[in-house]
Structure 1
């Protein structure tokens, strides 16, 4: 017997719920994201607290704590635009993709994997497709990362001037971004769906409580970060270079393997699990809780 289909929420509820989650996330976690990006961009060994301090705070490493903390907020405008649009697109768009796949391929998935696993895999596949399409927002992500890790790349230019000068160059690394997002988003939505299916035995995923969404998001976020870690490091190193740099992802991959070893592909994973992990869990769980709440409120 096929599982009960998830309740459909309105497009307005999906936008409001995911945008609210994005706003809350950027307000709480932007400094944490800056730390993670700087650790991933670092190519030296961090073997002391002094070196760690320099990697994180850079030229502000010896300044008072207040100035050091403020230095973790570069690119906040780009980050806010990117994060809110990204969350609306990803968290609000995945249900639409899931509904499309369910309408057209439900029987195929259920015949191949069974009703429960098939339903969870449909959610994961929808997430993967949405993740690939996320590259349309890449320019904002590039500018955010450059502000966080390589502010010299701007050379006094504003947003409009950079768009005019760089054009499609802002999509540098799009292939690596898509390659990272496909398995990462598959694992995020799939991990959450499997937890709701097999841990909480929910027939309607949208009926999950805040606590259930939170636990399910831990499963999804952890799986997503681990699966996407190597490609995320390469993507970050492509995007943090000066605009005129033409170093390819494959060159970066080869140099990393040669000079830094295989473990370099997982640089920043531990702090990322400890920092980006909670951020992703927070926003994902919040969006999954707020979308049904807004839908109920609007109806």
Structure 2
């Protein structure tokens, strides 16, 4: 049996802790960046000056000193903390299990279709896509995070329990289909781009043996591919989720209105800022997870 066809020896605890640690570091460094990205995506006006940019990002706090404005970029931190840790554990910790399954049961099929090297990368990409679909179960936390970042008026002083009572759990799953449509190709590109970089650029035989620098380089390829592929659906998803609870709008309606009022390029609105802001966040988190998981596993084996 080849190396690829053997089940990974990494423990579940290492995968969980490694993914959770990367999420905590990511949140601490990049939550303000995420808020800026979400506000740019939900903005439907043309930003042609620094003053307008300032207004979009800081809103009613735009005229305040920068110190005060900066701390307005941390709304929804409680939702973000829960969502981000669960999301990263599910995606980064769960993908290796699906990859193990594919290696065990479908290795020959992939290799016959794509060749051994590309087949190995494609299995990693497919496993990532599967976990991207499963992320939809965390959608309520994502919705609450995005609303608190872009439309805090939707809360009107209400807590989570009151929102669930008033709106029902189904309102927090609004846009679930668009979310899955965005997550599947986005996660496929993330893990696929990462694997292709390790296979063809870094020429690694064992991905788990990659150094921090190699994980960082491969994560750049994966994150960039993921953001570009998922950009149009991410705009639709964000606009669905940032609407007030009492004024929902379907994804189809948003697509029609966006094309009519803003043109097709609107589906890539915020892509450059996203590549410059969200890109480093994803690279940072993904590289950390790929480094921490083997590190924790080695520590557990030595204990």
Shorter-normalised TM-score: what interval?
Answer: over 0.9
Query: Per-residue deviation at 1:174?
Result: 0.5
Query: What is aligned with 1:228?
Result: 230
Contact 1:229 1:266 in 2 (8 A): yes
Contact 2:204 2:210 in 1 (8 A): yes
2:267 is matched with which residue: 262, 265, 268? 265
RMSD: 1.2
Contact 1:150 1:241 in 2 (8 A): yes
Return closer, same or farther for 1:84/1:286 CA change in 2, 3 Å cut-off: same
User: Equivalent residue of 1:71, what SS?
Assistant: helix
Alignment of 1:140-155 (within 5 A): 140-155=141-156
Distance of 1:71 and 1:271 partners within structure 2:
19
CA displacement, residues 133-166 of structure 1 (integer Å, 9 cap, x when unaligned): 1000000000000000000000111011112222
Distance of 2:161 and 2:33 partners within structure 1:
27
Any stretches of 5+ residues in structure 2 without a counterpart? none
Alignment of 1:245-284 (within 5 A): 245-284=247-286
Any stretches of 5+ residues in structure 1 without a counterpart? none
Query: Per-residue deviation at 1:245?
Result: 2.2
- Per the normalisation by structure 1, the TM-score is 0.98
Distance of 2:3 and 2:259 partners within structure 1:
46
- Tell me if 1:185 matches 2:187: yes
Query: What is aligned with 1:108?
Result: 109
The range that moved more, 159-168 or 265-274, is: 159-168
Query: What is aligned with 1:136?
Result: 137
Contact 1:18 1:287 in 2 (8 A): yes
- Per the normalisation by structure 2, the TM-score is 0.97
Query: What is aligned with 1:196?
Result: 198
Query: Per-residue deviation at 1:2?
Result: 5.8
Distance of 1:218 and 1:60 partners within structure 2:
34
Distance of 2:229 and 2:155 partners within structure 1:
32
The range that moved more, 208-217 or 238-247, is: 238-247
Distance of 2:4 and 2:145 partners within structure 1:
41
